[in-house]
C-alpha cells in the first residue's frame, strides 16, 4: 500500500468567500434604479459595475443590475 492520495489537491485562495446572489437571497424580482445605495454597493470606486465573479450575483440579477445602473447614470444618481 502506497500513499498516493495527494492527486486531488487544489489551491483555494479564498475558501471562505460565499458565492450567493444577494438579490436571490432577499428574493428581489426587480432592481430599482432609483435605489442608489444598492447600486453603489455593486460598483467600484470609479463607477464600474463589479463583475459577477467578484460579487457572486447570478446572471439574471446581474443583467437587471446592469440595466439599473445604466438608467441611474442617465439621471446622475451614480457614476
50 is a contact residue toward Zn ion (CB under 5 A): no
* Residues 42 and 62 sit within 8 Å (Cβ to Cβ): no
Cβ proximity to Zn ion: between 6 and 27 the closer is 27
Q: In the bound complex, what is the minimum distance in angstroms from residue 22's beta carbon to Zn ion?
A: 8
- Taking CB under 5 A as the criterion, the residue among 21, 36, 50, 77 binding Zn ion is 21
Backbone angles phi, psi at 49, to 5 degrees: -75, 130
Residues that bind Zn ion (CB under 5 A): 21, 23-24, 58, 61
Amino acid at each position: 500500500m502506497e500513499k498516493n492520495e495527494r492527486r486531488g489537491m487544489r489551491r483555494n485562495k479564498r475558501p471562505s468567500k460565499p458565492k450567493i446572489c444577494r438579490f436571490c437571497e432577499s428574493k428581489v424580482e426587480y432592481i430599482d434604479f432609483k435605489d442608489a445605495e444598492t447600486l453603489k454597493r455593486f460598483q467600484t470606486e470609479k463607477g464600474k459595475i463589479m463583475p459577477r465573479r467578484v460579487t457572486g450575483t447570478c446572471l439574471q440579477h446581474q443583467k437587471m443590475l446592469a440595466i439599473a445602473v445604466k438608467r441611474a447614470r442617465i439621471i446622475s444618481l451614480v457614476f
